[in-house]
């Protein structure tokens, strides 16, 4: 948002930018936690790293109330239909963060049971690398998602950058 | 490794206590045995295995009241009898342990269920059936424990294809990364497989 200040009484901006600005700072999350990455998710959500600084604070355990689906941990073929249903139950606009190596690519599991990356099931917006990712990488991922939201049209489906899988690889800073 | 094994294994002539008890009660029934670090292992045939297990549970010198573990091994291409059922027993009263192995042929992979001796074997036997396809006769509820019902085959068998997956939902195509992975892995068998 690039506001042009009036005499302290009004702000001018584009409607798209305003809507996206409000969206990117109020991300309600649905944590789909299936494995050990969950501990790191909790750590990054707790006060030490304080995810709420970025407006992504409150987990909603109902897909109807959530904006961001966090897929945290290994997804195997047994639970894949559940993940798909949760994603379909979320209301637009919705985003997906793939948290950690297993969710992003299957991790070190290449066997009969594990889905080789959740992008085989649902479109993913941000991949966070790591096994598990450091909280700094998680925060980096949130910022990457915010930038992605800001780029897109207000519905999340139109605009300059249409909704599509866009890989944003985040790395923990040394 | 072999020398270490020899050190830890007692000499063949001295028969350890539990093995001797079984041998005394069921002469000729123990087809193989060894001892490692004070724990005894016996191999018995699956015919009449329930008698042996009932003896192990009820005899006053054995009193194996706890079934610790039940699993199987697939010796495909290594042994004449393909499967082996492995049961670990412990006596809480007397403090000793015993490992019992039962060879199971591939053409008829069925064994008697131990459900009437130790109720705890219920889920162990179901898991064993799930992963190895061993049929436990007289088990009251022998269905898959972990995998979904639409799964075909038994994944821990050595002849299950190592990368074969059985998805329950239609997977989205992610061809680019699949090609990339094939290039990286440089595995010719991989490139022939269709993407999962």
A chain contacts of residue B150, beta-carbon cutoff 8 Å: none
* pLDDT band per the 50, 70, 90 thresholds, residue A7: low
Interchain pair A120, B165: CB under 8 A? no
List Cα–Cα distances, B37 to B7, B80, B165, in angstroms. 9, 28, 40
According to the model, what pLDDT value does residue A5 have?
Answer: 58
Interchain pair B148, A119: CB under 8 A? no
Q: Which domains does chain B have, with CATH numbers?
A: 2-157 (3.30.460.80), 161-196 (no CATH)
* pLDDT band per the 50, 70, 90 thresholds, residue A58: confident
CB A170 within 8 A of CB A140: yes
Checking if the pLDDT of A70 tops 90, the result is yes
Distance to chain A for B86, nearest Cα, Å: 24
Interchain pair B167, A78: CB under 8 A? no
According to the model, what pLDDT value does residue B112 have?
Answer: 93
List Cα–Cα distances, B75 to B79, B117, B156, B162, in angstroms. 6, 27, 11, 16
What percentage of residues in chain A have a pLDDT greater than 70? 80
Interchain pair B196, A120: CB under 8 A? yes
Report the half-sphere exposure of B106 (CA within 13 A, side-chain side).
13
The two three-digit tokens of residue A117, written as one number:
């990356």
Residue of A nearest to B181 (CA): A105
According to the model, what pLDDT value does residue A91 have?
Answer: 87
Checking if the pLDDT of A152 tops 90, the result is no
Which of A78-92, A159-173, B93-107, B157-171 is predicted least confidently? Answer: A159-173
According to the model, what pLDDT value does residue A155 have?
Answer: 54
Rounded to whole angstroms, the Cα distance separating B182 from B187 reads 7
Checking if the pLDDT of A86 tops 70, the result is yes
Q: Which domains does chain A have, with CATH numbers?
A: 14-170 (3.40.50.12280)
Nearest Cα neighbor of B102 from B146, B139, B134, B60 is B134
Interval A33-37 mean pLDDT: 92
A chain contacts of residue B149, beta-carbon cutoff 8 Å: none
According to the model, what pLDDT value does residue A169 have?
Answer: 38
According to the model, what pLDDT value does residue B139 have?
Answer: 92
Distance to chain A for B170, nearest Cα, Å: 8
According to the model, what pLDDT value does residue A159 have?
Answer: 37
- ipTM score above 0.85: no
The two three-digit tokens of residue A32, written as one number:
């789909």
The closest CB to that of A77, out of B163, B165, B174, belongs to: B165
Rounded to whole angstroms, the Cα distance separating B68 from A127 reads 42
According to the model, what pLDDT value does residue A53 have?
Answer: 87
* pLDDT band per the 50, 70, 90 thresholds, residue A166: very low
The closest CB to that of B165, out of A81, A112, A117, belongs to: A112
According to the model, what pLDDT value does residue B13 have?
Answer: 62
A chain contacts of residue B157, beta-carbon cutoff 8 Å: none
Please report which helix (H) or strand (E) contains residue B132, including its range.
helix B121-132
Nearest Cα neighbor of B36 from B1, B2, B3, B8 is B8
Nearest Cα neighbor of B87 from B72, B103, B65, B108 is B72
Q: List, for residues A101-125, the tens digit of each pLDDT value.
A: 999 988 888 889 999 889 888 888 8
According to the model, what pLDDT value does residue A157 have?
Answer: 45
According to the model, what pLDDT value does residue B185 have?
Answer: 58
Checking if the pLDDT of A52 tops 90, the result is no
Interchain pair A81, B168: CB under 8 A? yes
* pLDDT band per the 50, 70, 90 thresholds, residue A23: confident
Rounded to whole angstroms, the Cα distance separating B172 from A135 reads 30
- What's A108-151 look like in SS3? CCCCCCECCCHHHCCCCCEEECCCCCCHHHHHHHHHHHHHHHHH
- Which mean pLDDT values do the consecutive 10-residue runs of chain B (196 residues) have? 49 75 87 88 92 92 92 93 94 92 93 93 94 93 92 92 87 67 55 48
Checking if the pLDDT of A9 tops 80, the result is no
* Residue bearing the bigger pLDDT, B65 or A1: B65
Tell me, yes or no, if A116 comes closer than 8 A to chain B by beta carbon: yes
Tell me, yes or no, if A112 comes closer than 8 A to chain B by beta carbon: yes
The closest CB to that of B196, out of A105, A116, A119, belongs to: A116
Question: Of B150, B177, B193, which to mutate for an interface test with A (greatest number of A Cβ within 10 Å)?
Answer: B177
DSSP per-residue codes, B98-110: EEEEEEE-SSS-E
Residue of A nearest to B164 (CA): A112
Distance to chain A for B68, nearest Cα, Å: 26
Q: Is B146 helix (H, G, I), strand (E, B) or coil?
A: coil
């Amino acid at each position: 948002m690039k506001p042009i200040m009036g005499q302290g009484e009004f702000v001018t901006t584009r409607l798209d930018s305003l809507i996206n600005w409000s969206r990117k700072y109020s991300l309600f999350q649905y944590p789909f936690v299936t494995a050990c990455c969950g501990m790191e998710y909790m750590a990054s959500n707790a006060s030490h790293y304080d995810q709420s600084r970025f407006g992504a604070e409150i987990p909603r355990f109902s897909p109807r109330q959530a904006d961001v689906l966090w897929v945290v941990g290994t997804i195997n073929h047994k639970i894949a239909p559940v993940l798909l249903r949760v994603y379909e139950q979320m209301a637009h606009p919705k985003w997906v963060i793939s948290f950690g190596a297993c969710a992003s690519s299957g991790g070190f599991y290449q066997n009969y049971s594990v889905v080789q990356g959740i992008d085989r099931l649902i479109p993913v917006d941000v991949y966070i690398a790591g096994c598990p990712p450091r909280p700094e990488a998680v925060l980096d991922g949130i910022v990457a998602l915010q930038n992605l939201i800001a780029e897109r049209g207000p519905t999340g489906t139109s605009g300059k950058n249409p909704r599509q899988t866009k890989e944003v690889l985040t790395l923990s800073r040394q | 490794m072999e020398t270490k094994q020899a050190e830890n294994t007692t000499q063949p002539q001295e028969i350890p206590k539990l093995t001797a008890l079984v041998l005394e009660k069921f002469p000729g029934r123990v087809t193989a045995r060894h001892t490692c670090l004070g724990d005894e292992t016996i191999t018995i045939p699956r015919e009449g295995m329930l008698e042996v297990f009932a003896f192990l549970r009820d005899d006053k010198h054995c009193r194996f009241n706890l079934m610790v573990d039940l699993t199987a091994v697939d010796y495909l291409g290594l042994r004449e009898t393909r499967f082996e059922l492995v049961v670990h027993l412990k006596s809480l009263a007397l403090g000793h342990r015993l490992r019992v192995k039962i060879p199971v042929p591939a053409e008829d992979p069925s064994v008697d269920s131990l459900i009437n001796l130790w109720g705890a074997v219920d889920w162990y036997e179901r898991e064993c059936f799930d992963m190895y396809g061993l049929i436990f006769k007289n088990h009251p509820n022998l269905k898959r424990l972990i995998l979904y019902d639409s799964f075909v085959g038994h994944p821990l068998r050595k002849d299950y294809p190592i990368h074969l997956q059985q998805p329950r939902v239609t997977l989205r195509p992610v061809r680019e990364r699949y090609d990339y992975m094939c290039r990286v892995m440089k595995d010719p068998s991989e490139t022939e497989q269709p993407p999962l």
